[in-house]
Chain A
Amino acid sequence: MKSARQQQDPATERLADQWLVLEAQRGEAESFRLLAERWQERLWRHAYRVTQREALAWDVSQEAWLVIARHLGRLGDPRKFGSWALSIVTRRALDAMRKAGRVDALEDPATEVLEVTVEAPPPGSPLERMGRALAVLPAPQRTLLALHHVEGLALEEIAGVLAVPVGTVKSRLHTAREALRDTLERMKP
């Protein structure tokens, strides 16, 4: 599915998603299945970026899909499906992190990331250090960076996802980048 997506140009991809959302809103189960297949990996990856735990990311993504299935009919603008779905995943993931925080406090999330990464960068490389720095960053800051740098959401969209004003997003993004720089500095050998 992913390779099929990559063959299409972005405009067609967006249009296909919007079409599937509109069809699913009419109760077309097949359209909902196709939409879910197209977005499943992306949403799961976002959940993983926030939680840094594979199993937790699965739980979050499963819960998110149940919410999407229940509330898709209320989505007024199919163009906003992406940011809407990401906002559901983000909220669920941050909630799950808060709940699991005390339980997993002794675990080092960075270690887990390195163990499960498929193509891990060489140890000591700038990318590897960046990965570790991001893993130790507080989840809300990592989420913000992921939404902006990986999902490519505009500040206004992030504001919608996090339910905060645009100005707050700007300042939080700045703080997150500074925190990341500080962490990287501290990690320098």
Chain B
Amino acid sequence: MTEFSDMIRDALTGGPAFEPEPGRQALDRAMQRFDRRARTMRWLAVVALLAMTAVLAWGLSQMIRAGEENTRLIAHGTFLAIVGVTGISFTKLWFFIAQNHLMLMREMKGLEFLILRSENAGGEGESGPS
């Protein structure tokens, strides 16, 4: 059984030589997509922040300019601001909870790396925590 398994593995391990050039092209396309996605997320965050600031500034100016007869406008503005801030806070909290284990894991992996490095004297990892 073991010999049979070894033979399967050996027969499947063979194949054409890996050509790095077409591989690089494939990788470049994936990199571009990854980069674009990361940049889009960053821009979306900036745009959302700017939009939120603009709305708050507009609301504040409306409240300052409102006379005594417009107290309802102030109440609406305050209510909207509270809803907005609460919504953003909950979104951030949800995101933090969803990603929290990854942050913890990152810290743990960093520690594991340090331990492995100290164990393997002279062993230099290709990458790791700086």
| Chain B residues within 8 Å of chain A by Cβ, number | 45
- Selected interface stretch from A7-15, A97-105, A153-161: A7-15
A41 touching B123 in the complex, CB below 8 Å, given contacts A12-B116, A22-B106: no
Q: Which residues of A from 46 to 79 have beta carbons under 8 Å from B?
A: 48-49, 54, 58, 61-62, 65-66, 68-70, 72, 76, 78
A34 CA to B34 CA in the complex, in Å? 13
Q: Nearest chain-B residue to A32 (Cβ)?
A: B34
- In whole Å, how far is A38's beta carbon from the nearest beta carbon of chain B? 8
| A124 touches B (CB below 8 Å) | no
Chain B 6-27: CB-based contact to A (< 8 A → 1; otherwise 0)? 0111111111111000110111
| A138 touches B (CB below 8 Å) | no
Q: What number of A-B contacts does a CB cutoff of 8 Å give?
A: 142
Query: What is the predominant secondary structure among interface residues of chain B facing chain A?
Result: helix
Contact, CB under 8 Å: A150 / B9: yes
A48 touching B16 in the complex, CB below 8 Å, given contacts A19-B113, A61-B26, A69-B30: yes
| B118 touches A (CB below 8 Å) | no
- In whole Å, how far is B116's beta carbon from the nearest beta carbon of chain A? 5
Contact, CB under 8 Å: B125 / A16: yes
- Interface residues of chain A, those whose CB is within 8 Å of chain B, are 4-5, 8-9, 11-12, 15-16, 18-20, 22-25, 27, 29, 31-34, 36-38, 40-41, 44-45, 48-49, 54, 58, 61-62, 65-66, 68-70, 72, 76, 78, 113, 116-121, 126-127, 130-131, 134, 142, 145-146, 149-150, 177, 180-181
Q: List 15 A-B contacts (CB under 8 A).
A: A5-B126, A12-B120, A16-B127, A19-B110, A19-B113, A19-B127, A23-B106, A27-B42, A40-B26, A58-B22, A69-B30, A70-B37, A72-B34, A134-B11, A145-B8
